[in-house]
Every structure is written in structure tokens, then in C-alpha cells.
Chain A
């Protein structure tokens, strides 16, 4: 393999991993607060369609991104009202949200199918992008990818280094104790769910405005679900979420590149690679069951009501 090829693979790995990273970061924060939101796919699609329509109609990609984030948050708010405040079953609500988001996005998007749009282009940072191997991967991406780097840093910092992170964790571990300490459990959960919605909306906008700038029904093709699985396999640790997302991206790209190099592995086997590789690595990392359990938010998926 020559350097160019590896550099191309790394570049594509980040591009492919970015939507997963964004959604998984949002879901990580959400789950840290004890709420399991299975509606990622629906929120992503809704963000994707709204982002596309707004960008197409106004000509402003950033306005599209902003409203895609809002769109994700609107669906997340619906979810939070029912699952956090009315104590409905989170799993059922999440599934309903996905089904709703898929249907709603197809309905709204019908008139926008087949419309071409010039999306975010790559923005190479001078000098830095010339670094061999890593230059293209880190410094010749589009703006939304840079934004995902920044968001990763912010989420990591907040979760690991700030009081906000501790509050989030307290609410997710033991809402009763957190409440006794005077923490507004439901408000924390609401904000965490909204953050998850915003990230899913942003990931949707990344798909419809940068990755493949167009609207097509179901264009997420299951990425919301993969992101959900990533959070579990990453055992709720933020660096492993990054690792998992890029690993998945890398394996998806290898599936294609290896074929191009004439490696004679059946392509159906190669197509399984992203799933197998990601799961194997993350399972290996978390093979210490006791420690892994320590990282899973204890009250994940359980509704909580003040006074109980």
C-alpha cells in the first residue's frame, strides 16, 4: 500500500464515521442521564429533510444546519414530554419516534426528491493539510467534520471534567439520590434528551448537506441504529465512542477499497466487516464485565417521578 492510498482511506474513514460520531455523542449524553432514546434514526431523518429544504430554499447551508438542529430538538422535545414527564416506556416511545420521524420526513420531503444542491465543500487548512498521512484526514475535511471534532472535545470535557458532567451522571446513576441532593432530575433529563436531538439533527444535516448533498427518503440507511449500538459497545465512554465510530467508518471503507485492490475475499463477508470489527474490538475492550457495568448508567431506561 502506498501512502496516498492510506491517506485516502483515513480521509474517508473520518467522513464515514462523522455522522455516527455525532449521533452517538448525543445519545451518550442522553443515556448518561438515564434516558434511552431509540428515536435517533427518526430524528436524524427529520433533521436531514428540514436541513435540506431550508438550505435549498434559502441558499444558506448554515441556516439549514441550524434548523436541522432545531428539527432534531423538536422531535426530542416530544419524546421528552412523553418519556420523561409522563413516565411512558422509553423503549416504546423511542421506537415510535423513529417510525414517526421516518414517515414524517418522507411526507415532507416528497417534493424535494431529486433536487440537486451544492453542499459543504472541503476546506483544506494550509500547511497542516500537507502533513503526510494524517494531513488530509484531519485538516482537509468539510466544516461540519471540523465541527464534529470540536463537539467531541466539548462533550468529552463536559462529561469528564465538569460539574455538569457529574450532575448528569448522578441523575443517570441514582435519580432519587440526585433529587434528594436538590438536583432537578427531570430538567436535567429533558436537557440531555434535547442535546441528543440536536446532535441527531446535526448528523442528519451532515448527510443531506455535506456527505451526499441531496434528499432521498431513508437516506440514513440505519446509521441511527448503528450509533445506538456503538454507545453500548463503547460501554458509555466518550473516547470509545470516537474509536467505535471511526472504526466502523474504516471497516466500511476497507470493504470497498479491498475490492478495488483485487483482494479476493467474498464481498458479502467484507460487507459484514464494519459490524464484526466494531463489535469485536469494543467487546475486547470491555471484557472486564464488572468494570463495564460500572460505566452503564444504573437507571438507564427507568422512568423517574419526583416523590418516589
Chain B
């Protein structure tokens, strides 16, 4: 007789359970329905196979890691002038809670928009201005340049090293200095020739610059621009090259010594997690070999003993035992910038506008 009652009760229980479950799943789906919206502002096209390409890889790693817990948007080909501010503001007004602006020239627009959107978190790559809701991040590419400088010193025959540079900003000057420091140590007679192309991405122009440098006797080529054209030109002309931003060495299978590869994924994942947890704080994050934000694949063009030497330098930088900018370091005018044994601070690195002793090229004023 109690059977129907039991049934009724269990039915009630079931109902209760169901509602609870529904409620829970509603709560769950509420959080699932509101993924963290993240915006990215890119300098070049995602297909540049260089700087922007690597940021896009980082974004994809982020999406892969979080799945539908995040919803990302990116805007590519955003020039560093007036349109940057408009694009960043658009991303903020369309509900993005976290915005990555991935080039130096976005610094002032980022700060400006951040003031108007105090609840949105901003992360600006390679800049030096922080605010309550703006953090900065960059890769210690100079570590890779130093290792590249070592390779160049060991591989050059003409003792002329070329550097295709974009704009004279701290990031570029820092990297040029790092190579010069390595040359000072491993091949003091080498000359580093710097050629400014005034562009981050123009394959034709980068190839022209590579040709012009090679015509002047350069036999190891660095680039601080974003297309693989210099690597390809070096391969054609039979000189060595070192790739930048992404692994470009397959463009120069017989000549490319190493690529300096940025891996932004881990940082993007970490930052998004912090924003989700509400633990994010503005910081000036410098990621290098130690943080796996920088990778240095050395190719088989490099002979084993030289490769071993490079690996040793990489290991000592990674462990923190060695810092490329360790005093005594003088600048071009002979003024002492770092005392013997003194290591440079991030602040000094971030605002670097002086060239180390030994560099013959002048920075454009």
C-alpha cells in the first residue's frame, strides 16, 4: 500500500533533485554562457609568418587551452597611428574584458583608452607605461640576439655582420646592443652594419636591404622585421642568416643558423586565468629563455662545436647565471653605463636609447 506513496515521495525527491540539478546546470551554463571576452590588436596580417603570426599562434594556444570559456576577437593590420585608438576602443565597447595590444606603437592609445574603461584589463606588448588596468609584457629577445651574436662571430669570414632594422625604438636598440656585446667578446674585429628600412613588414624592401648588405660584404644577416624575405635572400646569395619572431629557418635550409622564436601562448593563458580568478595585477612582465617565452632552435648548418658553445650560453642565461648586459659596459661615447659586475635593470632595458661601445653605426636621430 505504501507503494504509491513511496512512489509519490520518490517522485517529489526526483523533482527536487531535478530542480536542483536544473538550477545547478543553469548556474553552470550561466558561467559557460559568459565566456571571458578577449580582444587582440595585431600590427601586421596574421599571415606575415613573423611577429603577428606568433601572436596569433599564442591566441590559438589560449583558445585551445580554455575552449568555450573564452571568446576571442582579433583585429589585424592595425597601423600604429590614429586608427589604433579607434580599434582598441571598439574592442573595449564591444565587451572585451581583456585586451592585448601587441606592438610598441600602441602604447599611448592603449593608455588613453584604458583610462576610459577602468574595468577592462589591458596588456600592452613591448611598452613601458603601466596603469591600474594596464600591464606590459615583452620577450627578452636580446637573449636570443646575444646567442645569435655568438653564432655570427663563430661563422663569419668577412667579419661583417648585417642587421636589417625597422625603427630606432628601445626594443630594436637593445637587440642591436646585445649582438654587439657578443661580437665584442667573441670577434672584436667584426663590424655590425645596421640598415634601417623604416617598416616592420615589406618583403620586397627587406629583400632589397638584405641584398644591399650582402653587396657590402656582410656574410651573416640578422633581421628585426617580420617577413622571411631576408632569410630567403641570404640563402640565394649564399650567406648565413638568423631568423626572428617565428621559426623561419626552412626558408634557408642551407644557410639559416637559428631562429629567435617568440612563444606568447603561456603568457596569454596565464593572464586570462588571472583575469578569470580576479587575481590580475598590472605588472611589467619580461619573459625570456627562463620562462619559455623565447625559443632558440639552432639548425644543423651550425657545426657541432659551435652549437655546443651556443647551447652552453643558452643554459647559462636560462639559469640566470649569466645576463648579456652585465657590466662593465660603456656606450659609444665611452661613458660607463654599467659598473663591473652590475646587471642592468628592466627599467634601463625598457628605455634603452644608447649604443654600446664597439658599434660603429649611429642611431637615426
Contacts and interface: CB of A to CB of B under 8 A. Distances in A.
Chains A and B are bound partners: yes
Interface of A: 5, 8, 12, 15-16, 19, 106, 109-110, 113-114, 116, 207, 211-219, 221, 223, 252-253, 256-257, 259-260, 262, 264, 266-268, 271
Contact of B215 (A8, A15, A16, A262): A8
Nearest to B198: A271
Contacts of A16: 204, 208
B19 interface: no
Contacts of B360: 262
Given A219-B227, A259-B195, A259-B196, A207 B47 contact: no
12 contacts: A109-B47, A114-B53, A207-B204, A216-B48, A217-B46, A217-B48, A219-B227, A256-B195, A259-B194, A260-B195, A262-B361, A266-B365
Contacts of A267: 196, 198, 364
Contacts of B204: 16, 19, 207, 211-212, 219, 221, 223
Interface in B202-233: 202-209, 211-213, 215-216, 227-229, 232-233
B268 interface: no
B240 interface: no
Q: Which of A207, A214, A262, A266 has the most CB atoms of chain B within a 10 A radius of its CB?
A: A214
A143 B194 CA distance: 32
Nearest to A116: B251
Interface string B21-49: 00000000000000000000000111111
Given A5-B215, A213-B232, A268 B364 contact: yes
A221 B48 CA distance: 12
A142 to B, nearest CB: 11
Interface string B238-262: 0000000010101101000000000
B203 A219 contact: yes
Contacts of A257: 212, 215
A207 B202 CA distance: 11
A29 B361 CA distance: 46
Given A221-B199, A257-B212, A114 B49 contact: yes
B227 A212 contact: yes
B115 interface: no
B225 to A, nearest CB: 11
Nearest to A249: B208
B201 interface: yes
B155 interface: no
Interface residues of B, number: 44
Nearest to A213: B232
A127 B360 CA distance: 40
A139 to B, nearest CB: 18
B321 interface: no
A150 B48 CA distance: 33
B365 A113 contact: no
Given A16-B204, A211-B204, A219-B203, A260 B48 contact: no
The residue among B196, B205, B211, B212 with the most chain A CB atoms within 10 A of its own CB is B212
A219 B365 CA distance: 29
Contact of A260 (B193, B199, B253): B193
A216 B212 contact: no
B364 A212 contact: no
Contacts, number: 112
A221 B251 contact: no
A214 B229 contact: yes
A113 B198 contact: no
Given A116-B250, A116-B251, A223-B204, A216 B49 contact: yes
Contacts of A5: 215
Nearest to B246: A114
A12 B248 CA distance: 24
B197 interface: yes
Given A109-B47, A216-B45, A211 B207 contact: yes
Contact of A106 (B45, B49, B194, B212): B45
A129 to B, nearest CB: 17
Contacts of B203: 207, 211-212, 214, 216, 219, 221
Contacts of B250: 114, 116
Contacts of A253: 208, 212
B275 to A, nearest CB: 29
A216 B227 contact: yes
A266 B202 contact: no
Q: Specify which of A19, A207, A212, A264 lies most central, judged by the most chain B CB atoms within 10 Å of its CB.
A: A212
B326 interface: no
B362 interface: yes
Contact of B213 (A212, A260, A264): A260
Nearest to B228: A214
Contacts of B93: none
A212 B45 contact: no
The 6 nearest A-B residue pairs measured at CB: A217-B45, A217-B47, A267-B196, A271-B198, A113-B47, A221-B202
B9 interface: no
Given A8-B212, A260-B213, 18 more contacts: A12-B208, A19-B204, A116-B250, A116-B251, A207-B204, A212-B203, A212-B204, A213-B232, A216-B227, A216-B228, A217-B48, A218-B44, A218-B77, A259-B195, A259-B196, A260-B195, A260-B212, A260-B215
Contacts of A259: 194-196
A218 B208 contact: no
Contact of B47 (A19, A106, A256, A262): A106
Given A5-B215, A256-B208, A266 B364 contact: yes
A244 B263 CA distance: 43
A256 B251 contact: no
Contacts of A106: 45, 47
B212 A221 contact: no
B47 A221 contact: no
